[in-house]
Amino acid sequence: MKKAHDLEMDMIEQFMSPYARKSLEKAMKGEGKYSVTTMSELRNKVKKFRPASQKVNVFNSTISGWSIRLYKFKDTNGNKFRIYFFGDRIILETPLATLLHFSINIPDKIGFADMFSENVSGIGKLFVSKLFVDDSKDKQIKSCVELLKKDLKSLCFDHCEGLTVYGNSLELILKSERQILPEIEICEKMKSIIESNFPEEIYSIDYSDLPTDLKTLIVKFESFAISDDYEREEKSKKITKKKRTELIEAVEGKLDDIDRFLDDFGGKPLTDGAIKLQCLAEMAMELKCGLEAGK
């Protein structure tokens, strides 16, 4: 019978690229740069929350690593969390609703909060997005970091660890050897501070740049155009079979048009309407995959 470590290595063989697999194999054998927690050890650290486990093969460009395992759970206060396992590091993620976007210590290559702003004493480097930061937003970000300073200092980030605040999520990049439960508590505190002081802006979305047929599509199914992974997952569980079939067929018939419209942006930021359209297409494809998998 294979040992747990061997089974984990089999999983790595199956789900990771050869380069990423070799790096993680070395790390899990203690030959890598960091001390590593195995997947089973990580799950034990959060077992009080009875986490659901899921195989994934997700590349994160911010840390240039592949995740092969995802754990999802709610804490005792009902807050939703996800932990992506990268071998030497993890990403601890929770939903967030804020108007801010910045990162601490590690430049964010996913949402482009990668422009250096300043060194924050006792914490690390502050990075912001050059696309969406003006003087007012810059002041808000620095004010937010000041409010988070006590909690950020308590985390004692190593150079390979950090924080990223997106509009819809808060992520901590941490060494996998951490205890995790204290970090979950700190994550919950920071989420509360950010949402209380810098809430998400509520505004109506302008669809005027969308072609008429795509505008009709998004208006009809707008409630399914969800960017947040957690909300999308909850919504997909509640959708009726009739509505699911209707949504999938409607979006599939327009996929080529949607792709052409989104491709026209090239390297420019998507408009709010385009983002909603992209989210709707993602929801439809996820529902189709779930249908084909018999979920």
Q: CB of 55 within 8 A of CB of 15?
A: yes
Domain ranges within the chain, ordered by starting residue: 4-197, 212-292
How does pLDDT run across 178-233, given as a tens digit for each residue?
Answer: 999 999 999 999 999 999 999 987 667 888 899 999 999 999 999 899 887 778 88
How does pLDDT run across 140-185, given as a tens digit for each residue?
Answer: 999 999 999 999 999 999 999 999 998 889 999 999 999 999 999 9
Q: CB of 114 within 8 A of CB of 131?
A: no
Instruction: Count CA atoms within 13 Å of residue 77 on its CB side.
Output: 10
pLDDT of residue 235: 86
Per the prediction, the chain carries an average pLDDT of 85
Question: Where are any strands of DSSP class E within the chain?
Answer: 52-60, 65-74, 80-85, 89-95, 102-104, 115-120, 124-128, 162-165, 169-175
Cα–Cα distance measured from residue 54 to residue 71, given in angstroms and rounded to the nearest whole number: 6
pLDDT of residue 6: 46
Compute the average pLDDT of residues 75-95.
92
